[in-house]
Structure 1
Amino acid sequence: MKVSFLIHTVYGIGGTIRTTLNLAGELADRHEVEIVSVLRHRDEAAFALDPRLRVVPLVDTRQGSADRADPLYSEPARVFPRAEARYREYSRLTDERVREHYAGSDADVVIGTRPGLVAYVARFAPPDAVRVGQEHMTHNHHRAALREEMYEHLDAVDAFVTVSEGDARAWREKMPLPATRVLAIPNSVPEPVVPPSDGTGRTVVAAGRLSAEKQYDVLVDAFARVAAARPGWTLRIYGSGDRREDLRRQIDALGLYNAVHLMGPRSPIEPEWAKGCIAVSTSRHESFGMTLVEAMRCGVPVVSTDCDYGPREIVRDGVDGLLVPVGDAGAVARALLRLIDDEGLRRGMGAAALRHARRFDPGVVAKQYETLFGELAASAGERAPLRGAAPAADCTVAEDGSLRVDLLAPLPSGFGPGARLLCASTGARTEVRSFPFDAAGSARVPAGEDVPEGVWSVYAELPGGYRRRLAARVVDQRGALHAARRPFGGEGVRILLPYEDEARGGALALRAWHRPVHAEVASVRVSGGGAVSVEGALFGALGGAGGPEPSVRPVLLLRRRGAPEEELAFRGARVGRYGFRFRFPSAAPAARQSTPHDVWDLYVRWAPGGPGIRMAGLLDDVVAKKQVYVFPRTVLPRRREGGRARAWAKRLLGRPVKEVRVHVYYTVSNDLALNVVDM
């Protein structure tokens, strides 16, 4: 197997670079591995590079390089997401170099290691490759605009891997991905080359960027209490960053210059962890907590804030370390003193830390990735793939919802009796549906076929088991325009819509929906004052059963994704037997905003006390409505803090009032949703 890692730069210093090299080096024992570095800004990499890894720099940004004189270098990127933090470092030249590299690539797996590079993988990875996106930060770390833009790209990859289950859950709650598997695999940390700590010293060690999110000011305040109670103990803080001078002033003001030392950056850091007998982290947020694992691998027990998300998945509170509330200097001090005063506890936790941290060994983590690659390849039908040009086919939707796929002449080499049309799901579960080709190369997928909801890749399976992905020539979707007239009954609404998948190089793909009861959106209107009107009708099992009494009025439900759970209800009107009409103010969900980016899903409750029926637009020929059906946005004063009185006070004082944007939109699965986003 050939695995390609796409990274911002392999020549710098950072956690993403380090963990990518750890994983790549372990995979190189069994696979061909390349590191594609989009940028090269220095002559030599800061970290030692395994000679088994093929490093491919794409754009040379060093002074005097020919790439800097290329006209495309000065043009803004078109594929790299604009809301990405690194956007200004990207250009039309980086777009083109990544596209060119993967156009000629034979990689079996391509992994994007930051949001913008996941977008590149979704667009440019070889059509037959398994596409994996990695999240080394967290869902809530990113700007709302980037998250919204990323949802489109994530729908085109096969899996999205976070470094903690908590963050994976946040992504799943905020954005249902019917075509993408979202899971957690931790970062890896190799076994240190130095012996573990003996636990006999009097040194507490912390390491990481000297930045606001690490909250070293809280740690210094905490250690002032420790130093007063236990003179002779010292704190060493390793790292560099923009808070160094602030920390120096704080240390001096507290008279801690003999007890707290800013040591600067160190690489490798393991010898420094081994000098300590307690490790400490006071971060406000941690996507993973690499320093915690590094310390534990050196046999050092840890005191850490119980922040989102990594620490609570790394530290077993009371077993190999202690978890304390975020921002509580007193709690940090008490935890440190507990370990300082109990040598037996300290040594026992250090031994447990050494044992438990082995689960982050690169071999263990690499095995999880290899299992994922195998599952994704199997679900995509990549058993014994044949390279070369994909055979082309036309696909037609009939009025009854059935599909016909016609292979174009000349038929693929090896085509003969037993050849079948193969549809393979691209989601978390491996699902396969197959249908026979006739002698002319035509196959039919019957109307109402049991195809679970999601995205499906399409192949020709030739005698002998070889599979060839089909390229789309003409996709005739006109029959889908009659979907609203079909007699959906007890099996519910089943829709199978073919399309040309541009992210897969023009491959033929299918989008399937299956819902026992469905609320089809006919129209959405947003007034100048922000009122939203939605009209539609019910289809499926409930609609075919006669429905409720004519006097029953439908209710619109807005349900917030994630925490805190909340539901807003608005009474509507019946339109005919199964139609509905609702109107609600945008200000209602805006007034209940709980995060900088709230997402609300829309449901219809048709019977009193009954379940909500999800609103969506499924019964036509538009596979992805989000970029086609764009509704006006409403801007309102933000109510999350202080309420209306505070907003009026700000206006009177001439101060700017913070605003939010309320936007009704279709999701990647064509469900209707609404978000409330800080401007």
Structure 2
Amino acid sequence: MSDENSGHEPVGKPRADAAVDEEGRFVVRVRLPLPASARPRLLLQLRPKKGQSEEIGRVVALEPAGGDEWRAVLETAPALAEGRWDAYVLGAPGQERTPLLPGLRDLRALVSSGGDSRATPLAVRIPYATKDGRLAVRTWLRASHAEAGRIVFTGRSMTVRARLFGPRLGEGAAALLHRRGRGAAVRQVALRAEGDQDFSFTVDYQDLLAEHGQPGAGAGAGAAADAGAGAGAEIWDVYVRPEAGASRIRVARLLDDVADRKAVFVYPAAALGGMTVRPYYTVDNDLSVRVAPPPPAT
């Protein structure tokens, strides 16, 4: 691969190439015009939730890699907590941290492997460029996971193919749709097992419309913000129950190179019963379905 910014970067604006190798290790190469005696370090800092203070991040040594390049390897264990981690370079102790700019990102190993369905917990790291042009890492850490695959649409339904990570499918397995909000409804959908870990299910949109407008329904403020929903919209979150009595597992799409699927994957909407139904991925790449009145005519 070539990089149009292959020349030396100013010291104040280091650029980093990032990759995930076949063993799942996170590898960063930073271009820094520093003497070999320098001791720069890579800092990954977890972005705190609103109202919370920043906790101590993960620091890894940057080793000389020839020329002006330095290399850091973040091993698979211990796993990073789920969230968004901003990448910085540290110089001498006490020096201010410097944000890293994104260079090349090589995630071919992650995309081709598809993950090990026996591995628990499932740990995923995807480097990406933030809206303000900095390097960050989106991470997921889940004890169990249902990875959404291909979704096929008709005018009245969607069929989802998926793979289970962690537990095995057993007697009483089913797909579940949970409506957000107080007095939330649950719709159970038959699950078709296609091996120990692979399965599919079909959601009839009419089943969701039958619950629309019932007392206690509604997406709530958080769901409306997540889906871009307006008044009267409802959000149904998609889960799988691997066997009777087991805890539900969120259906999501994590095992590829897309850190934020919500704006990238826009699925078709169906018009039924005076409402529109559209599946979508949330800000956490979880699969949900939005039921709402059609937008006003312009």
TM-score range, shorter chain: 0.7 to 0.9
What letter matches 1:672 in structure 2? L
Residue 194 of structure 2 aligns with which residue? 575
Residue number in structure 2 paired with 1:397? 20
Q: Which residue of 2 aligns with 1:473?
A: 103
Cα distance between partner residues in 1 of 2:282 and 2:99: 27
Query: In the alignment, is residue 423 of structure 1 matched against residue 44 of structure 2?
Result: yes
Distance in 1 (CA, whole Å) between partners of 2:126 and 2:87 is 12
CA-CA distance at 1:401 after TM superposition: 1.6
Q: Please state whether the residue corresponding to 2:110 is helix, strand or coil.
A: helix
Decide whether aligned partners of structure 1 residues 500 and 474 sit closer, same or farther in structure 2, where only a CA change above 3 A counts: same
* Mapped contact 2:253–2:286 kept (Cα < 8 A): yes
Distance 1:487 1:468 in 2: 38
Question: Residues 631 and 487 of structure 1: is their aligned pair in 2 closer, same or farther, counting only changes over 3 Å?
Answer: closer
Secondary structure in 1 aligned to 2:114? helix
Shift of 1:427: 2.7
- Secondary structure (helix, strand or coil) at the match of 2:159 reads strand
CA distance in 2, matches of 1:562, 1:448: 37
Partner of 1:632: 268
Q: Match for 1:523 among 140, 150, 160? A: 150
- For 2:58 and 2:32, the matched residues in 1 are separated by 24
Q: Which amino acid in 2 is paired with 1:663?
A: R
Within-5 A mapping of 1:84-95: none
1 CA distance for matches of 2:32 and 2:13? Answer: 13
In the alignment, which of 217, 231, 234 is matched to residue 598 of structure 1? 234
In the TM superposition, residue 485 of structure 1 has moved relative to its aligned partner by 3.9
Q: Return the match for 2:91 from 434, 454, 462.
A: 462
- C-alpha deviation, 1:389, in angstroms: 4.0
Tell me if structure 1 keeps the 8 A contact 2:11–2:33: no
- Partner Cα separation in structure 1 for residue 37 and residue 99 of structure 2: 14
Describe the shift of the 1:560–1:455 C-alpha distance in structure 2 as closer, same or farther (beyond 3 A). Answer: same
- Residues 261 and 281, structure 2, Cα contact 8 Å, conserved in 1: yes
Query: Aligned in 2, Cα 1:415/1:433: closer, same or farther, shift over 3 Å?
Result: farther
- Of the candidates 247, 259, 284, which is equivalent to residue 611 of structure 1? 247
- TM-score, normalization: structure 1? 0.37
Taking structure 1 as reference, are residues 394 and 388 closer, same or farther at Cα in structure 2, changes over 3 Å only?
closer
Q: Cα RMSD (Å) of the superposition?
A: 2.1
**Is 1:666 paired with 2:281?**
yes
Aligned residue pairs total: 259
Q: Which amino acid aligns with 2:23?
A: D
Change (3 A) 1:469 1:488: farther
Rate the CA distance shift 1:674–1:460 in 2: closer, same or farther, 3 A.
same
Offset at residue 409 of structure 1 (A):
3.9
Residue by residue, what CA displacement relative to the aligned partner does 1:476-526 show, whole Å, maximum 9, x if unpaired?
Answer: 12122134243643x41000111122x12x211100001000000111111
Cα distance, 1:587–1:615 mapped onto 2, change above 3 Å: same
Offset, 1:537: 0.8
What is the 5 A alignment of 1:341-490?
A: 389-411=12-34, 416-417=38-39, 419-428=40-49, 430-431=54-55, 432-440=57-65, 441-466=70-95, 467-486=97-116, 488-489=118-119
| C-alpha distance in structure 2 between counterparts of 1:448 and 1:517, whole Å | 17
Q: CA deviation at 1:534?
A: 0.8
In the alignment, is the contact (CA less than 8 A) between 1:448 and 1:494 conserved in 2?
A: no
Q: 2:161 aligns with which of 535, 545, 558?
A: 535
Q: 2:128 aligns with which of 499, 505, 508?
A: 499
| Kept in 2: contact 1:416–1:439 (CA 8 A) | no
CA contact (8 A) 2:29 2:72 kept: yes
Q: Would the aligned equivalents of 1:599 and 1:676 in 2 still touch at CA under 8 Å?
A: yes
Q: Residue 514 of structure 1 is aligned with which of 113, 116, 141?
A: 141
Q: Which has the higher helix share?
A: 1
Q: By percentage of residues, which structure has more strand?
A: 2
Tell me the secondary structure at the aligned position of residue 88 of structure 2. strand
Instruction: Please tell me whether the aligned partners of residues 394 and 473 of structure 1 are also in contact (alpha carbons under 8 angstroms).
Output: yes
**Contact 2:81 2:141 (8 Å CA) reproduced:** yes
Kindly provide the amino acid, as one letter, of the partner of residue 492 in structure 1.
P
SS of the aligned residue for 2:141 comes to strand
1:196-345 alignment to 2 at 5 Å?
Answer: none
Contact 1:414–1:462, Cα closer than 8 Å, also in 2: no
1:557 to 154, 176, 184: 176
Following the alignment from structure 1 to structure 2, what is the Cα–Cα distance between the partners of residues 572 and 566? 19
What's the offset of the Cα at 1:424?
0.6
Question: What is the alpha-carbon distance in structure 2 between the residues aligned to residue 564 and residue 402 of structure 1?
Answer: 44
- Displacement after TM superposition at 1:465 (Å): 2.6
Post-superposition shift, 1:584? 1.9
Task: Give the number of the structure whose alpha-carbon radius of gyration is greater.
Answer: 1
Unaligned runs of 5+ in 1: 1-386, 638-658
After superposition, the Cα gap between the structure-2 partners of 1:436 and 1:668, relative to the gap in structure 1 and judged at 3 Å, is same
Q: What SS is found at the alignment partner of 1:572?
A: strand
2:163 partner amino acid: A
CA distance in 1, matches of 2:241, 2:72: 40
Query: How far is the alpha carbon of 1:631 from its aligned partner?
Result: 1.6
Q: How far off is 1:573 after superposition?
A: 1.0
Structure 2: tracts of 5 or more residues without a match? 1-9, 219-231
Question: 1:444 and 1:487 mapped to 2: Cα distance?
Answer: 24
Residue identity in the other structure for 1:532: M
Compute the displacement of 1:420 (Å).
Answer: 1.6
| Residue aligning to 2:224 | none
Whole-angstrom CA distance in 2 between matches of 1:388 and 1:407: 11
Work out whether residues 148 and 160 of structure 2, in 8 Å CA contact, stay in contact via their aligned partners in 1.
yes
Secondary structure of the 2:85 match is strand
CA distance in 1, matches of 2:234, 2:142: 26
Q: Distance in 1 between matches of 2:253 and 2:272?
A: 27
